[in-house]
Amino acid sequence: MLDEAADRYERPGFLEEDPLGIPHRYSNRDDIAIAGFLAATLAWGNRKSILRSCNSLLDRMDDAPADFIRNAKPADLAVFDGFVHRTFQAEDAQRFMRCLQSLERDGGLEGVLTNAVCGSPDTAGQKGLPDLGMALHGFKLRFFQDESAGRTVKHVADPLKGSAAKRLCMYLRWMVRSDRRGVDFGLWQDIDPSLLRLPLDVHTAGVSRAMGLLKRKANDWQAVEEVTQSLRWLDERDPVRYDFALFGMGVHGALGPLH
């Protein structure tokens, strides 16, 4: 059932109305990485609002995000004055740009996240499986290393504080999983897809519980680890491919009698 649903929902056709469609506008890998990170960061709320905000943010970067990050001077960040997406406002956008500029010293988003994942200790009781919660915690520390996080700290999740880190897990899925189906990009080949965790939200969590893949009631990092382990029993090499099935079934109410 899940295999069929994953095949049905992992299609390029859904990109038009999904935040993942934003980085698909670009062909340069650095543009894709930065646009994808910003799109994932803003990916909460109404989809039309998300896409409108992503377009506004990238328009202010002259639709050339990698070039903007490399070359923007402090005064150039004034282009974000007046930007608002829910609680992510101009101050947060400007701080994000400075943090992204700081990451360039260590290979940008790809270099920093790859080092964080591959350099993480093993998950407790699972030899050879890096602790992604520790890795994302380390990424957050590095992201704000040269910047006082202030109010912006809440816009980068930290699994060590219990967060399911849905948007960071989603972003890693975009960058790491194969591009064979024309949906994810498969750009970061030093991170194995087997190491990814499920982006957990109300849809994926609800379907997972209904199917017996998740017993924990809270949608926190412990639940992410539990449900991803269940999915590894189904596909050890690419467990997060079931994100398409669980999310699609949740959105379209395709559970039927399982409710």
Distance (Å, whole) CA 193 – CA 137: 19
Indicate whether 117 pLDDT > 90: yes
Indicate whether 258 pLDDT > 60: no
Lowest mean pLDDT among 38-52, 159-173, 240-254: 240-254
Query: pLDDT tens, 193-203?
Result: 999 999 999 99
Query: pLDDT tens, 167-192?
Result: 999 999 999 999 999 999 999 999 99
Query: pLDDT tens, 26-61?
Result: 999 999 999 999 999 999 988 899 999 999 999 999
List the one residue out of 253, 186, 199 whose CA is nearest residue 231. Answer: 199
List the one residue out of 102, 59, 106 whose CA is nearest residue 79. Answer: 59
The pTM (predicted TM-score) of the whole model is 0.95
